[in-house]
Structure 1
Amino acid sequence: MTSMPSLDHQATAKPQNLFLRTLKLLGPGIIAVLSWLGAGDLITSSVAGANYGYAMMWVLAVSLLLRYLIVNIIARFQLCNNQGMTILQGYAQLNPVFAWFMLIYALLMGHLMNAYMIKGAGESLAMLFKIDQPLLCSVAVVLAVWMLVGRNIYSMIEGVMKVLLAIMTLAFIALAVMSGPDVTGIIKGTIGFSIPPDEGVHGALLVAVSVIGAVAGSIANFVHPYVMRQKGWTGPQHKRIQRNDLLFAVFVGIIINLAIWIVGAEILRPNGIEVKTLADLGKALEIYFGPIGWYVFFIGVFATLFASISGKTTAFPMLITDAFQHVRPGRREKFGKEFHHDPMHKWFMLFILVTPLIWSMPGMPDFVTLTIGVSALNIIGLPVISLGLLIMSNQKSLLDKQYRNNLFENIALLFATGLALWVAFQLGVDLFT
């Protein structure tokens, strides 16, 4: 006779099963972190910390808060609108101009964001294999992504990349703790709201704009609702798990960004190391962990960039195809709601994966400069995105009262619009005077 499980065993089994179910449900947020992190957060946070210490920590704090609010509102609209609209359809119903804007903007930024990531992945691979052929390595990265994306083997590769990313992240967190961060300096920088005098190669205002663009203004924030859709989260019943999943993702993002910033402020800055190349950032881990730290950094950076390139090559074409089908509505009727059925979807994938290779050719801007410049360009789209979101997330015809914005969210979207316009104006004045 089989014995019955003890009460103690049943009591412990329930929490374990709940924990495993929760881990299984978490997913879009993890993919969002991989898509967000990339080189943008890595370079902008390290450059800001290395050049300006904690003086501009407020920029990171504001950007992370805005990222959570903007992505949460985007996700809530897609889950809770009574017409079953995607986020792009929500923008398009406001005015056809939004569909055109999102089509052109997503194509441009998909190309440019993959440009610095492919360049960085190629340089990382060249450093690891100690060969002076970064362009050849970038081509290898593009070929590998194209062969793996959309195939069953990619899920296994992605799992390996996540482990490598986790190792690098833990190394940065350990390094940040070991360096003895100046908590008082962090607090002062978070509430300081000041732009310090220029230091190093990249001006303070440009760095501030690149942080805001890489974090709050990134069009990669639109990846989240499309990944939710693939996960099967399609209605108001998924609102709670979506919010918790996003909170988890943002929390992980805060830890990673803060650790990288602290490394820049506490290790690179005191040692007079400016982040001009990937190797400069790798020196931080090498100083504390020796040669193994150098390898952990470059393996982790390659994993981060490879996963981000794969994520953007998978998710961006969905947004682009969605926008294209609004500009050409007959295509949705012909090919249905599954974006990959539209032949243009594969061409969009090829465009944002292959054309960025031109930025890896000799004579193009270096990796750090390209990353900061492209991250700063994200600020162009933030006013349009936040204003459009402000209008559509308050539409009574599409959203019941409990799903519309509260006062704080409306103020935050207005603030994001004002902040983007102000920094863009200041940057323009700074460049032309």
Structure 2
Amino acid sequence: MSEHTPSTPAGAGLATEVAPPKWKVIGPGLVVAATGVGAVDLVATLIAGSKYGYALLWCVVLGCVMKVVLVEGAGRYSLASGRTIFEGWQSLGRWATWYFGIYIVIWGFVYGAAAMAGTGLPLHSLFPWLSVTWWGILSGLVGLLLVWFGRYSAVEKVCAALVGLMFIAMVGAAVLTLPNIPDMLGGLVPRIPDGGIVYVLSLAGGVGGTITLAAYGYWLREKGWVTPRHMRVMRLDNRVAYTVTGIFVLATLVVGAELLYSAQIAVSTGDQGLLDLSEVLDDRYGEWAGKIFLVGFWAAAMSSLVGVWNGVSLMFADFVARARKLAPDHRDGLAHGRWYRAYILWLTFPPMVMMFLGKPVVLILAYGVLGAFFMPFLAITLLWLLNSDRVPREWRNRTWSNVAMTLIALAFVVLAANELWNQVSKLV
């Protein structure tokens, strides 16, 4: 038997002989897209719109296409091979296992604090009787309870509801600003304004996710989509999800271009920039507009928190189970197993210390560097896996997929080098 012969995936018995009805296809893609678009992505898009108007609109479209390619690749590998993405990385050598193991531990600790702070900011603005810290901690505990006791179907429904709130708030804010359609169409022509190269890379790379893109295969498994028969429905799910994401991020750029660029209003970097925008909406359209936007801001942050608490915990459980050479269907490597719950605790409780003490500089630097290096890791390893005998020939990359993934990998390598340079500069 070949070393790369697919194993029977956990949950294969749930697979049906026909693809699900079209009205049931929206699920894992929406979860991965909702999880990936957080407050940081929104602020980056908002600032790009405030600095350059619609000049970088084409980057939003490019970013969505890049994520569709990567998520489709991750889903195709999982469905065609019958293996998880971590099993694929493990087959590439110990270096991949070590890299991922170090990354997921450091990333989880720092992301836990960032996610809780991101939910705490809008809640504190809406309900100031509790501090950002305590609202964030309560949000983390709510996320813990949901993914600890709830099944994937509950996570999917919660994320869908939060995406609805995000969509209404941001698209509503964009409509309020009365966007200039001719200028928007002009922004689809690729061009890089002076000083805009970093924003070009950030927008193209930041439309939805880092490690959460790799979690897509695990959500497919939880959904019961586990064989090549689900390939078509997976692709439709992925495209619909990133179309919704693209409209959402486009609306953010419109707000930045119309509300901030035209009035030359600057906003802060970090999550604080979204609070700045809520105040601008208050002043321009009334307090109700700012409140609705804050609800959307909270929904964006909370959907990321819930998605990570579930999806990345699934990845960690699989990582530990494979490292310990457990059977593919061993309880400890699945949802609600011992290692799944251990990582939920890791995301929730140790980061609470950072909520009170602030983020240690060394940890932030490590997080920034490792975070920047995950996307090229994903793109390069997918290229490797999908051009090998680890997947049946019919599901391997075609020429266009190889060209697209190569260009994406190069773009993320440049982004990683830029991030590494920025972090090293802070130490000098």
Report the TM range for the smaller structure's normalisation: 0.7 to 0.9
Q: Secondary structure at the match of 2:253?
A: helix
Counterpart among 362, 378, 383 of residue 390 in structure 1: 383
Structure possessing the higher radius of gyration over alpha carbons: 1
How many residues matched?
Answer: 400
The match for 1:9 is: none
The match for 1:405 is: 397
In 1, distance between residues paired with 2:369 and 2:261?
A: 23
In 1, distance between residues paired with 2:384 and 2:89?
A: 9
Correspondence 1:29 to 2:24: no
In 2, distance between residues paired with 1:219 and 1:168?
A: 21
In 1, distance between residues paired with 2:332 and 2:420?
A: 41
Correspondence 1:315 to 2:311: yes
In 2, distance between residues paired with 1:115 and 1:206?
A: 26
Structure-2-length-normalised TM-score: 0.82
The one-letter amino acid paired with 2:384 is I
Conserved? CA contact 1:209–1:376, under 8 Å:
no
CA distance 1:184–1:362, change in 2 (3 Å): farther
In 2, distance between residues paired with 1:410 and 1:89?
A: 21
The one-letter amino acid paired with 2:262 is P
The match for 2:5 is: none
Q: Which runs of 5+ in 1 are unaligned?
A: 1-19, 198-203
In 1, distance between residues paired with 2:374 and 2:66?
A: 14
How far has the Cα of 1:133 moved from its partner?
Answer: 1.4
The match for 1:43 is: 43
Q: Secondary structure at the match of 2:347?
A: helix
How far has the Cα of 1:256 moved from its partner?
Answer: 0.3
Q: Secondary structure at the match of 1:191?
A: coil
Structure 1 residues 272-281 or 290-299, which shifts more? 272-281
How far has the Cα of 1:192 moved from its partner?
Answer: 3.1
Structure 1 residues 275-284 or 118-127, which shifts more? 275-284
Conserved? CA contact 1:128–1:298, under 8 Å:
yes
How far has the Cα of 1:60 moved from its partner?
Answer: 2.5
CA distance 1:161–1:431, change in 2 (3 Å): closer
Conserved? CA contact 1:116–1:359, under 8 Å:
no
Conserved? CA contact 1:167–1:300, under 8 Å:
yes
How do 1:20-419 and structure 2 match up within 5 A?
21-81=21-81, 84-131=82-129, 133-152=131-150, 159=157, 162-163=160-161, 165-194=163-192, 196-197=194-195, 204=196, 207-215=199-207, 218-276=210-268, 277-287=273-283, 289-329=285-325, 331-332=326-327, 335-336=330-331, 338-340=333-335, 342-361=337-356, 363-364=358-359, 378-395=371-388, 397-419=389-411
In 2, distance between residues paired with 1:30 and 1:377?
A: 25
The one-letter amino acid paired with 1:419 is A
Structure-1-length-normalised TM-score: 0.82
How far has the Cα of 1:89 moved from its partner?
Answer: 0.8
Percentage of pairs with the same residue: 26
In 2, distance between residues paired with 1:376 and 1:296?
A: 35
How far has the Cα of 1:346 moved from its partner?
Answer: 1.7
Q: Secondary structure at the match of 1:381?
A: helix
Structure 1 residues 107-116 or 405-414, which shifts more? 107-116
The match for 1:424 is: 416
Q: Secondary structure at the match of 2:266?
A: coil
Q: Secondary structure at the match of 1:194?
A: coil
How far has the Cα of 1:139 moved from its partner?
Answer: 1.6
Conserved? CA contact 1:28–1:224, under 8 Å:
yes
Conserved? CA contact 1:382–1:416, under 8 Å:
no
The one-letter amino acid paired with 2:143 is V
How far has the Cα of 1:127 moved from its partner?
Answer: 1.2
Structure 1 residues 356-365 or 167-176, which shifts more? 356-365
In 2, distance between residues paired with 1:362 and 1:325?
A: 34
Q: Deviations over 1:56-106 (max 9, x none)?
A: 33432322111000100110111012xx21111112112122122222222
The one-letter amino acid paired with 2:53 is G
In 2, distance between residues paired with 1:268 and 1:94?
A: 47
The Cα RMSD (Å) is 3.2
Q: Deviations over 1:24-82 (max 9, x none)?
A: 3321122222212222332221122123323333432322111000100110111012x
How far has the Cα of 1:280 moved from its partner?
Answer: 0.9
Q: Deviations over 1:281-312 (max 9, x none)?
A: 21354355421112212222223322321221
The one-letter amino acid paired with 1:394 is N
The one-letter amino acid paired with 1:225 is G
The one-letter amino acid paired with 1:344 is W
How far has the Cα of 1:340 moved from its partner?
Answer: 3.8
How far has the Cα of 1:145 moved from its partner?
Answer: 1.9
The one-letter amino acid paired with 1:196 is D
In 1, distance between residues paired with 2:242 and 2:333?
A: 29
Q: Deviations over 1:152-210 (max 9, x none)?
A: 5996797566445424422322332343334444444443342533xxxxxx5554454
The match for 2:13 is: none
The match for 1:12 is: none
